Chains A and B, each alone.
Chain A
Amino acid sequence: MNNHSCEQEQFVAATLRAGALDTQLLAHAAACPVCSDLLLVTEVLQKDSASLERDLHVPDAAVLWKKAQARAKEQAIAKATLPIRIVRICAYILAFVAAPSILIELSHGPAWFPDLGLKHLSSIDANWLAALTGTTFLGIAATILCLALSSWYMLREE
C-alpha cells in the first residue's frame, strides 16, 4: 500500500459492486485510508444513484425510436442531395470566377451590348441568330430534363 493506492483496492471495489463487504474487508477498510475513502464514496454514490433512478421519469423508448427514425431520414436526404449541393456550389464559384472575364469580353463586344441588344435583335446576322436559337433550345431542353430527373430523384422516396 502507498499513499495513492492499496493492493486490496480493486478487490474491495469489486466486492462492493457485488454486495456488502465481509468483516475481514471491513476491518481492512477501517485501517486503510484508501479503502476507507473507497468504501465511503461507493456506498454514498450507490445509495444516491438508487434513489435518483427511482425518482427519475424517463420517456418511453417509442418516443426516442420515432425521433431517431426522423433524424435518420433527414440524414439520408442530406446524404442523397450532397452531389446536388456540391454541383450548385461549384456553379456559384465558377460563375463568380468567370463573371469578370465575361464582362470584360462583352465590354469590347458589339455596339448593341449596352442596350442588351433587345432593340437590335432584328438586325443581328441571321446565321448567328439561327445557331443561337439551336443552342438555346438544346440548353433549355437539357435544363428541363435535368430538372425533371432531379425532381424525380428527390421525390421518389415520398
Chain B
Amino acid sequence: MILELALRAPSDLEPLARPARHGPLAMEESAFRAFHDQTARPLLAYLVRACGDRHLAEDIWQEAYCRFLTADIPQMDDRHARSYLFQIATNLMRDKWRRPKEEPLEDHTPEPVAPAPHLALKLEMRQAFERLKPRERQLLWLAYVEGSNHKEIADCTGLRAASIRLLLFRARRKLADLIRSGSRQHHPGITK
C-alpha cells in the first residue's frame, strides 16, 4: 500500500528531454547531482513546514529520493521530475499521517528563548502556519513557494483539480487572518 501510493505516477507524464534510464537507477549520477542541487533544499523546506517535524521531514526526504531513483518512471523534463519527486514526498507524508499510532506531528527543534525581532517574526509566521491543517500547508506551499499550477497541485496531493481553487482560497484566507491577528497581538497599532 505504501509503495503503491508513493510510486503512483502522474497519469499524463509525457516522454520529454531527460536522458533515458541509466542501469538500475532512474538517471545518471551526474544528472542526479544537478537535479539534487536544484531540488534538495526546496523539497526539505516543503517537508519541514508541511510535516512540522524536522527529523521526520529528513527521513521522508531521503526516502523520497531513493524511491524516485529506483522507480521505473518514464522520461521527463526537470519540471515534471521535480513535480514527481514532490508527489512521492507528499504521498509518504500522507502515509505517515494515516498511521493511527503516531501522535500529531510536533516540531521538537529548539527555539531561541528570547528571539531577536526578525526571529520573532519568523516564529510568528511559523506558529500561524502550524495552526493550519496539513493539507492546507501543502496546498499553500506548493502554490506560493513552488509556484505549482492547479493541475500539478492536484497530481501531487491526490485532490481533484477542480477543487484546488476553492481549497486554496480558504487556506489562504485562514493563513492571512492568522498572520494579521498575530501581528495585531504583537503590534497593537496595526489595524490591517
Chain A residues within 8 Å of B, Cβ to Cβ? 4-5, 13, 16-17, 34, 36-38, 40-42, 44-49, 51-53, 56, 58-59, 61, 64-65, 67-69, 71-73, 75-76
Give 20 pairs: A residue, B residue, CB < 8 Å, sorted on A.
A4-B165, A4-B166, A4-B169, A37-B172, A38-B144, A38-B172, A44-B125, A45-B141, A45-B145, A48-B126, A49-B45, A58-B40, A61-B33, A65-B32, A65-B69, A68-B69, A69-B25, A72-B24, A72-B70, A75-B24
Question: Interface on chain B toward A: helix, strand, loop, or mixed SS?
Answer: helix
Chain B, 99-153, CB within 8 A of any chain A CB: 122, 125-126, 129, 140-141, 143-145, 147
In whole angstroms, what is the CA distance A44 to B66 when docked? 31
Judge whether B144 and A42 touch: CB under 8 Å: yes
A residues within 8 A CB of B180?
40
A17-B147 contact given A37-B173, A38-B172, A58-B40, CB 8 Å threshold: yes
Q: A4-B165, A48-B49, A49-B145 are in contact. List 9 more A-B contacts (CB 8 A).
A: A41-B175, A44-B125, A53-B45, A58-B41, A59-B62, A68-B70, A71-B66, A72-B69, A75-B70
Answer whether residue B48 sits at the interface, using C-beta atoms and an 8 A cutoff: yes
* Contact among A40, A46, A56, A69 for B176, CB-based, below 8 A: A40
Residue of A5, A37, A41, A51 with highest tally of chain B CB at under 10 A: A41
Judge whether B24 and A73 touch: CB under 8 Å: yes
Interface size of B as a range: 35 or more
* Contact among A46, A52, A59 for B48, CB-based, below 8 A: A52
* Contact among A13, A48, A56, A61 for B41, CB-based, below 8 A: A56
Answer whether residue B9 sits at the interface, using C-beta atoms and an 8 A cutoff: no
Judge whether B24 and A69 touch: CB under 8 Å: yes
Answer whether residue B37 sits at the interface, using C-beta atoms and an 8 A cutoff: yes
A residues within 8 A CB of B69?
64-65, 68, 71-72
CB-based closest 6 A-B pairs: A72-B24, A68-B69, A61-B36, A37-B176, A53-B41, A58-B40
Chain A proximity of B116: nearest CB distance (Å): 13
B residues within 8 A CB of A72?
23-25, 69-70
B residues within 8 A CB of A5?
165, 169
In whole angstroms, what is the CA distance A38 to B40 when docked? 26
In whole angstroms, what is the CA distance A100 to B70 when docked? 45
Answer whether residue B81 sits at the interface, using C-beta atoms and an 8 A cutoff: no
Chain A proximity of B29: nearest CB distance (Å): 6
In whole angstroms, what is the CA distance A17 to B144 when docked? 8
Answer whether residue B179 sits at the interface, using C-beta atoms and an 8 A cutoff: yes
In whole angstroms, what is the CA distance A46 to B45 when docked? 11
Interface string of B52-95 (1 = CB under 8 A from A): 00000000011001100110000000000000000000000000
A residues within 8 A CB of B125?
44, 47-48
Judge whether A45 and B70 touch: CB under 8 Å: no
Chain B proximity of A40: nearest CB distance (Å): 5
